Amino acid sequence: MPYEVFARTWRPQVFEEVIGQEHITKTLKSALLSDRLAHAYLFSGARGVGKTSVARILAKALNCPNPQEGNPCNACTSCTDITHGSSVDVQEIDGASNRGIDEIRNLRENIRYLPSHGTYRVYIIDEVHMLTLPAFNALLKTLEEPPGHVKFIFATTEPHKVPPTILSRCQRFDFKRIPLSKIQEQIKKITESEGIEISDPSLSIIARQAEGSMRDAESLLDQVVSFTGAKVEDAQLMEVLGIIDRDLIFKTTQAIIDGNASTCLDIVDEIYRYGYEIKEYYRELMAQFRNLIVSLLAQEPSRILDVPDNELNETKRQAQQAGIERLLQALNFLINREADLRYTSNPRIALEAILLKLSGLKEYLSFDDLIGKLDVLEQRFTQSAADGGPREGIDEKASGSEAMVPDDGKRWNAFLRYLSSKNRAMANILKEREPSTIAEDRMELPYGKGSFTASYFDDPDHFEQLVAYAREFFHANFKVIFTKQSVAVGTEQDTGNNEVPEQVNDILDIFEGKIISRD
């Protein structure tokens, strides 16, 4: 299908067609209607958001003999000349390639002449921040005493590079990035009227990729259509744009929330089979955790979130299932591990490790789970009291109420049993340690500098996990503190021939091994 690029055929021709910049178009229209126009305007904003389009509409409206309520008629010679870029009265100058003093001097010579047809000579200078300082100074002189028949419209993506002396002589309008939903709406309209078949999810992918620029969205659409023809399949779109399938991202977050490790491995496999960029995938995953968090916290999520409507419900549902703590934990973890991917020689393994770890992050329990666990715990306490109590930490004074309020030793052992059901290795490592204090709000464990236990819990992940388990078992504000005193249970003194150093014992514990020979 032969066509002009969409960005050109779909350039807005009246103020109402300019999307997302109503704050600007309304002001300009009413200024035109009441004839209260500035001599110079500065349009700032990202590329592809409508600066040039509005400049042209304004230039046309200024010169149109037959304006329609502030809009150009787009039918007279003046209007059509400007649309086609052949008007002598309206000139567009590219600031980037006409940066010097000479060009501005020429312009100043030109300005003297009255317009040949219309009422105004209009100079549109694009990327005005590129002008040299002498050029700016020459321009400033004109701006200080502008002839009545001249209007300037400056456009720039970098307004901070425009000298304040120039800025102060312009009426400034800041063009906004266009919201995702409006971009999607517009490219849907374009495809419908151009007879292109494309699904809503595909449109939303293009809109997201455009990051607020309508022109970018239109150019992406060009790219896709020139590859696929008038019928765009979702899979083709992904291929052309090299975009990570949204379903895969949702599948990942769900697997992480469910703690489903095997699905995580499948996902990594899929990423490799499709040949996705791992970093791109990681970026998308982080963005989606951010979305999940925002969807829980924001009053009006659809305004802050860059999530298309068709994803909003599922995003909210997942977020509610996971809960805020869990999501924050996951996002923090992703942020902390980003560097792992960058520096590894094997990104696949690194990604697998990260996803597996994420899927194993402590689950925050639902209320029902919690009640269930409390039942089990109570049973255990009652039973161990009936069995004659645990081997250590018997406190005669407390015996009357010990089923309800277990003393430190019992609490410690009960916790170890619980930990053992969650993380055997960690429980084994802690088994030899008794907390020096176990109070209502915290336990203190001897650090044992240099020991295996110490180095194990030096890893912030392990420590965090321990805290998480302790909080799950005791209560949400429970603290775990390693005290820097010397080790309470030590074998430093008695390293007789047959004694195994403590570190080795620890290792044997974790791997449930035994020493076969000693040479």
Which residues, in sequence order, are bridge partners of residue 150? 121
Instruction: Provide CB contacts within 8 A for 77, sequence distance 6+.
Output: 117
Q: Could you tell me the smallest distance in angstroms from the CB atom of residue 25 to ligand ADP?
A: 9
- CA neighbor of 433 nearest in space, from 486, 511, 500: 486
Separation of alpha carbons 491 and 483, rounded Å: 19
Segment 38 to 77, residues that bind Zn ion, using CB under 5 A: 64, 72-73, 76
Among 89, 127, 218, 245, binds ligand ADP (CB under 6 A): 218
Closer to ligand ADP by CB, 162 or 292: give it. Answer: 162
Residue 152's binding partner among Mg ion, ligand ADP, Zn ion, none (Cβ under 5 to 8 angstroms by kind) is: none
Antiparallel, parallel or unpaired: β 150-156 and 442-446? unpaired
Does position 80 bind Zn ion by CB under 5 A?
no
Question: CB 158 → ligand ADP: shortest distance, Å?
Answer: 13
DSSP β-ladder status, 150-156 and 121-126: parallel
What x-and-dash track marks residues 137-166 binding Zn ion by CB under 5 A? ------------------------------
The entry of ligand ADP, Mg ion, Zn ion, none near residue 73 (CB within 5 to 8 angstroms by kind) is: Zn ion
Positions in 410-449 near ligand ADP (CB under 6 A)? none
Our finding on whether 90 is near Zn ion (CB under 5 A) is: no
Residue number with CB closer to ligand ADP (182 or 431): 182
- Of the residues 15, 40, 42, 48, which one makes contact with ligand ADP according to CB under 6 A: 48
**Contact with Zn ion (CB under 5 A) among 24, 79, 327, 361:** 79
User: Rounded to an integer, what distance in angstroms lies between the CA atom of residue 506 and that of residue 454?
Assistant: 11
Residues 35-74 that bind Mg ion (CB under 5 A): 51-52
71 binds ligand ADP (CB under 6 A): no
Query: In 3D, which of 72, 154, 50 has the Cα closest to residue 118?
Result: 72
Question: 347-369 burial string, b = 16+ CB within 10 Å, else e?
Answer: beebbbebbebbbebbbbeeeee
175 and 139 Cβ atoms separated by less than 8 Å: no
**Measured distance CA(128)–CA(372) in Å, rounded:** 68
* Contact criterion met (CB below 8 Å) for 204 and 310: yes
Distance of CA 281 to the CA centre of its chain: 12
Nearest to 314 by CA among 235, 253, 263: 253
Binders of ligand ADP among 141-160, rule CB under 6 A?
Answer: 155
Do β-strands 171-174 and 437-438 pair in parallel, antiparallel, or remain unpaired?
A: unpaired
Given Zn ion, ligand ADP, Mg ion, none, residue 18, with its beta carbon under 5 to 8 Å by kind, binds ligand ADP
CB 283 within 8 A of CB 325: no
The interface partner of residue 21, options being Zn ion, ligand ADP, Mg ion, none and the CB cut-off 5 to 8 Å by kind, is ligand ADP
By CB under 6 A, tell whether 12 contacts ligand ADP: yes
CB atoms within 10 A of CB 494: 8
> Quick check: 268 and 359 in contact, CB under 8 A?
no
Interface residue with ligand ADP, options 24, 29, 41, 51 (CB under 6 A): 51
Nearer Cβ to Zn ion (72/115) = 72
Binding site for ligand ADP (CB under 6 A): 7, 10-12, 18-21, 45, 47-53, 155, 178, 214-215, 218
Binding residues vs Mg ion (CB under 5 A): 51-52
Binding site for Zn ion (CB under 5 A): 64, 72-73, 76, 79
